[in-house]
Structure 1
């Protein structure tokens, strides 16, 4: 038997090497606690208030496809078999031990004595019930294909469960550590599955309390938690759409944290003795996407023309104030599988006009560009509108509230859109399969509605390949094909920002932009 044998797998060693080690870059003169001029220690208790731009779209991990929604429940209400530490290494959580028997067989030994928030026991049956629901086609989960390599889950006894795969899958532990791997209450699944979207039931350190739609979601400390209890009594996620209001609330003490910080406010934060800025390079990417299945953007020459007409450097400097870095592909340099060898189409107005004429649009056309209502995204849309006007393309900007935006791109009612993809695992499969595989069209993540059988095959080969260098080459090949098909225009590799006041201690963001609240205290 090979206890924790996964560490010897080359693929996972590569993941460890390439994954981001999340770190805070402070601002101003801070002491070791991370807060400016405030050395008092935090105490137990208190209500933490997190202010956010938009409400969650849902709280059922089997249907959540965006990180802002997952952020409410991931490792707070729900837990996973394994999880990431600060350095993005895999560590035990609901499973305290595991072994890879062969390429298709993984065995997990579970923690004992854990109960769900509804009193039902956590055991091997609960694990099977949760994953069976996710993988059942009748459930209709957009997460299904992310874990579609799991062919069977076998309950050995209460504390031992075996995962059988249909094919080798190198990053299995990383996907099990993500939000998709959350283990839901079997009682809730059997008795009231439809309520899980609004009333999550897990084993985590926080218990769901209430959700006032469009206003706030409240979690309370789980007093019966099986592990180390959180220090705060509760956390409220409040919806505050106005950027300036969120910042003012944190500065006044009415709120404590916001993980959605406009880059235009960095100087104000740095100049305040009450505000602190947390910065960390992320695993996410931002891009201009094309709906390749609908006219007129089913025309590859038109997509290429637009690609040549977008000056990406101007967006990074002018809109983002150099927060984040210029992307070359839809995969962050911090993600395993990234390559610098695939480069996007350069800014070339003459080439853009030439291709526009070849596409049959030399007399111009109108295109709709969809974005959510985040300030920077709207600014990016306006810059692109101006740039494309220079080649005779008239852009109509459509701004939607975040939930409506997600719904629109999931249903394919858009033409061109500003999108972002947050990698939750640190592995390239999470980008390539979810964004570009034909099985992921729509809600799972392929909002380009892109279908290429050759790309599908390469992505599938990469999933099953255990040799890290071969996987790297496969991802490079798929990304080159995606470039040739002009599916998207890469814009930015994320740098995640959060602002918090001096009342908060031991807060951090991980590389996927999840709020880590396990050790937070309030002064």
Structure 2
């Protein structure tokens, strides 16, 4: 999920990164306190607030963490893994070109408002998104639709991408056919995204009565998306309340769910925006679980009897460079010097949980398309100094932005990581000017605009396809990096246009090799983020995509 490549970031994540530490209220705990199996409410401490109750309007993980419990897409990922499996569609297939997708839908599925799920409902959703107008066409509102399906029936801005969605046809009640104009590596993975989860047609009609509005960069989201009552999906829970004052979203088990019923009746997501605050709330029994556990806290919590499962690696943390901000970075030798100057082994060893890996390219080795043949840049301060000298850049001064008030799955302690990299660069003779910035909107805006010579960001994959990583950054010119290299862009795009999966994987390998030869930035590491649960909790299967299904949770 994007943290982030797009101007979609600035508005949506502003709500995500800000929160107040809230402690438990008796009315929200199970009626029998901590008596394990008698509890009927599971409270999860989230790092940030959701931005919307309509996932189609979102691009951030905290929104999707909540909405995933209430909405389902045509496809899903297997519990605890990254393999695509049936969601609301039991089976799916495509023509050889990957332009016509046929979905055989589940029967006897109901929406939370009592409406029946069928092929007409699927088409109503896709046509609803395709016909968006006005502020809904802003990439800050429709990031994922534009990423997966391109633009709209009538684009209102020349920067909006060309529409790739062509049509949806309800062949019969249980068969939906979606057609696109061009082969895309984003399919079928894109059909699994929360942003393309299916809503009740009755709810859609209410949505269409309301508008999103914009004033400058500030987006005002439609009322239906900011309070419970209108949104309706098919998931194991239904959203019943969003108490913004207490920074809590409440959900209740949907007893007419088509699949296995949720094991716990009530589910509450409570925003606690500091890792220490989340840990202390878990230890005090005020919450039953939390995410983004600090690596230093894992053994402490496990030793005290808490459950702290670690997800598989499916993210990438990198040092970004803006060539437009600092012309010295246009010289390959300078970029190579920076890469050689950083002791990534030490960063992984001291800052990441057990299982962290040094990155050699802009995707983890768990993604199809990872290449063993990329050019590598091992830690070597002396070589870094020599390269700077050869480029006429000895004594290089450079600004280095890093985020505050945030923890990310790939970046558990931003300031500590910044200090390590800064020390490495200075050892190689580079003078660093620190530029700390509040995560949202300041840091995200600055990095998106290419206003930082160096910066730290990362990505957790949405689905297992190489283009979901390298295509995010290097398919075309992007201000974050500020370079134009046709060889890189062509190599990355080639994979996205190939329908055959085996050939596509080979093209991604070649693209990774071209990227690392050019070296637009430095891939640093991949991290297995940990998630914690109470002593009396049977956790869900933890997901490398951070897509946990809390209907799997139960109390001991």
Scaled by the length of structure 2, the TM-score of the pair is: 0.77
Q: Which moved more, 1:120-129 or 1:245-254?
A: 120-129
1:187 counterpart = 2:205: yes
- C-alpha change, 1:252 and 1:150, in structure 2 (3 Å) is same
Contact kept? 1:282, 1:513, Cα under 8 Å? no
1:387 counterpart = 2:424: yes
> Pick from 415, 420, 444: which aligns with 2:458?
420
> Pick from 507, 512, 517: which aligns with 1:479?
512
> What is the aligned partner in structure 2 of residue 23 from structure 1?
none
- C-alpha change, 1:367 and 1:408, in structure 2 (3 Å) is closer
What is the number of residues matched between the two proteins?
477
- C-alpha change, 1:321 and 1:234, in structure 2 (3 Å) is closer
Contact kept? 2:50, 2:63, Cα under 8 Å? yes
Matches of 2:433 and 2:62, distance apart in 1:
28
- C-alpha change, 1:174 and 1:210, in structure 2 (3 Å) is same
> What is the aligned partner in structure 1 of residue 92 from structure 2?
98
> Pick from 75, 96, 114: which aligns with 1:82?
75
> Pick from 139, 144, 147: which aligns with 1:145?
147
1:177 counterpart = 2:192: yes
Query: Shift of residue 266 of structure 1?
Result: 1.9
What secondary structure is seen at the aligned counterpart in 2 of 1:458? helix
- C-alpha change, 1:158 and 1:212, in structure 2 (3 Å) is same
> What is the aligned partner in structure 2 of residue 233 from structure 1?
265
Deviation by residue 1:215-235 (Cα, 9 ceiling, x = unmatched): 333323234434332122222
Deviation by residue 1:83-132 (Cα, 9 ceiling, x = unmatched): 12235443322123333344322211323454433555533343234334
Matches of 2:444 and 2:248, distance apart in 1:
19
> Pick from 327, 334, 345: which aligns with 2:377?
345
> Pick from 198, 207, 223: which aligns with 2:226?
198
Query: Shift of residue 136 of structure 1?
Result: 5.5
Deviation by residue 1:243-301 (Cα, 9 ceiling, x = unmatched): 2332222122211111210001122123213x121013221111111234433465244
Matches of 1:362 and 1:310, distance apart in 2:
17
Query: Shift of residue 495 of structure 1?
Result: 0.9
Unaligned residue ranges in structure 1 (runs of 5+): 1-39
> Pick from 288, 292, 295: which aligns with 2:319?
288
Please list, as runs of the form range in 1=range in 2, the aligned pairs for 1:188-337 lying within 5 A after superposition.
Answer: 188-192=206-210, 194=212, 195=222, 197-199=225-227, 200-208=231-239, 209-212=241-244, 215-273=247-305, 275-296=306-327, 299-301=330-332, 302-320=334-352, 322-337=354-369
Contact kept? 2:541, 2:552, Cα under 8 Å? no
Matches of 1:310 and 1:469, distance apart in 2:
34
Matches of 1:331 and 1:522, distance apart in 2:
37
- C-alpha change, 1:60 and 1:339, in structure 2 (3 Å) is farther
Q: Which moved more, 1:127-136 or 1:372-381?
A: 127-136
Contact kept? 1:297, 1:415, Cα under 8 Å? no
- C-alpha change, 1:133 and 1:307, in structure 2 (3 Å) is farther
Q: Which moved more, 1:346-355 or 1:402-411?
A: 402-411
Deviation by residue 1:341-399 (Cα, 9 ceiling, x = unmatched): 21432222233234434555434313032225225222111111211222232131414
1:503 counterpart = 2:536: yes
> What is the aligned partner in structure 2 of residue 130 from structure 1?
125
- C-alpha change, 1:297 and 1:471, in structure 2 (3 Å) is farther
Scaled by the length of structure 1, the TM-score of the pair is: 0.82
> What is the aligned partner in structure 1 of residue 526 from structure 2?
493
What secondary structure is seen at the aligned counterpart in 2 of 1:228? coil
1:377 counterpart = 2:414: yes
Please list, as runs of the form range in 1=range in 2, the aligned pairs for 1:41-80 lying within 5 A after superposition.
Answer: 43=37, 46-74=40-68, 76-80=69-73
Matches of 2:302 and 2:313, distance apart in 1:
21
Contact kept? 2:402, 2:415, Cα under 8 Å? no
Matches of 1:222 and 1:276, distance apart in 2:
27
Query: Shift of residue 336 of structure 1?
Result: 1.2
Unaligned residue ranges in structure 2 (runs of 5+): 1-33, 151-163, 213-221
> What is the aligned partner in structure 2 of residue 162 from structure 1?
177
Matches of 2:209 and 2:546, distance apart in 1:
33
- C-alpha change, 1:465 and 1:292, in structure 2 (3 Å) is same
> What is the aligned partner in structure 1 of residue 470 from structure 2?
432
Matches of 1:241 and 1:505, distance apart in 2:
24
Contact kept? 1:290, 1:297, Cα under 8 Å? no
> What is the aligned partner in structure 1 of residue 7 from structure 2?
none
- C-alpha change, 1:431 and 1:288, in structure 2 (3 Å) is same
Query: Shift of residue 493 of structure 1?
Result: 1.7
Matches of 1:506 and 1:72, distance apart in 2:
17
> What is the aligned partner in structure 1 of residue 104 from structure 2?
109
Contact kept? 1:198, 1:211, Cα under 8 Å? no
Contact kept? 1:300, 1:485, Cα under 8 Å? no
Contact kept? 2:399, 2:452, Cα under 8 Å? no
